[in-house]
Amino acid sequence: MSTPPVEVLITVSFPDDLITPLRQLSPRLRITLQPARAPEDIPAEIWNRTEVLYTDRLLPAPDAAPNLRWIQFHYAGIDHVATHPLLNKPNLAITTLSGAAAPQVAEYAVMMMLALGHKMPDLHTNQFKADWPKDRWERFKPIELRGSTVGIVGYGSIGREIARLLQPFEVKVLAAKRDAMKPLDDGYTPTGLGDPEGDLFTRLYPIAALKSMVKTCDFVVVCVPLTPQTRNLIGEAELAAMGPNAYLVDVSRGGIVQPQALVTALQEKKIAGAALDVFADEPLPPSSPLWRLPNVLISPHISGISPHYSRRAVALFTDNLARYLSGVKLFNLYEPELGY
């Protein structure tokens, strides 16, 4: 008796050289590549037969895809679709792309720590003044990353890769995560990256002890997912605990750091500065005072962009497809009660 084919629909555009290895993974796979902007752009017959869906945010109505068994999302964070009714379908596996963006986001975080510690905002302003200040030794005296203490809020794939990149700097790494009793990482980790065994931090804190962790840090990096539990996680009390010589780097999602509390802390120099890639309102409105603060570096939510993202995405999907065909637990299973 022959095994029925597994119908796979991919709604994200990938080049042929990435799709070909997927087609060669198993003769059971029947892959349909159909980039689309809306569910109605996909013929009803295709939705009806689809068993595995790879998508960014395009989702059908629950009754339009009766044979759907697994959704692999193109992003690590899926808070943008968390309320879609399809995600409540019984016996539907949902997985994220956690791990695929870790290398580039971790590099961004380390870059921003170096930039903030070495006074890059002040140096940039000084350059436009064409000034060679007499007090440059004092004005531009850095806080070196080497030998510093870095707190990582959220010890998932990005946080673990940040910890790995910091090792040559002999940094003291402190980390906070929801389940501090579970240092191991059972999510997707490319070979040689991250901290799958939980060996690279000095101490692991529960999120409830966040203020205790950040008060000892020179740099605090926020990379926790956005959930109802983490919304407004970093507020006035946490920023005050950091102290006037500490820097904040936010590569998570807008809404985790309380916007007004952050503006106040920066304006009143309760913290030394910040590098921000994400915001509660995106695009960040021109009226936001963050644009004009001299101790802030702003980027337009680009820390996850990489020319290698598609290749890394397909590599993860290939591994997960192989696990699906073998009946093995998938990487990065979404847990609705946790929000990630």
Q: What pLDDT, on a 0 to 100 scale, did the predictor assign at position 1?
A: 53
For strand 172-177 and strand 149-153, is the pairing parallel, antiparallel, or unpaired? parallel
Taking the CB of residue 306, how many other CB atoms lie within 10 A of it? 17
Do 139 and 271 lie in a common domain?
yes
If asked whether residues 89 and 210 sit together in one domain, one would say no
**In angstroms, rounded to a whole number, what is the distance separating the alpha carbons of residues 32 and 42?**
11
**Phi, psi for residue 339 in degrees, rounded to 5:** 90, 10
In a domain, 331, yes or no: no
- Residues 28-46: what's their mean pLDDT? 96
Overall size of the chain counted in residues: 340
Whether residues 110 and 96 fall in one domain: no
Position 93 in a domain? yes
Q: Please, what sign has the CA dihedral across residues 52, 92, 161, 245?
A: positive
For the domain that residue 110 is a member of, what is the CATH number?
3.40.50.720
- Pairing state between β 273-276 and 247-250: parallel
CA-CA distance, 17 to 49, in Å (whole number)? 25
Integer Cα distance of 45 and 222 in angstroms: 43
Confidence at residue 186, expressed as pLDDT on a 0 to 100 scale: 86
Among all residues, which ones are annotated catalytic? 253, 282, 301
CB 239 within 8 A of CB 211: no
- pTM (predicted TM-score): 0.94
Q: What percent of the chain has pLDDT over 90?
A: 94
In this structure, the answer to whether residues 128 and 190 fall within a common structural domain is yes
Residues 159 and 72 in one domain: no
The distance from CA 165 to its chain's CA centroid, rounded to whole angstroms, is: 16
- Expressed as residue numbers, the domain containing 160 is 102-298
Whole-number pLDDT of residue 79: 86
pLDDT digits (tens, 9 = 90+) for 93-143: 999 999 999 999 999 999 999 999 999 999 999 999 999 999 999 999 999
Any domain includes 268: yes
Residue the block writes with tokens 């929801």: 178
What rounded mean pLDDT belongs to the chain? 96
* 46 and 152 housed in the same domain: no
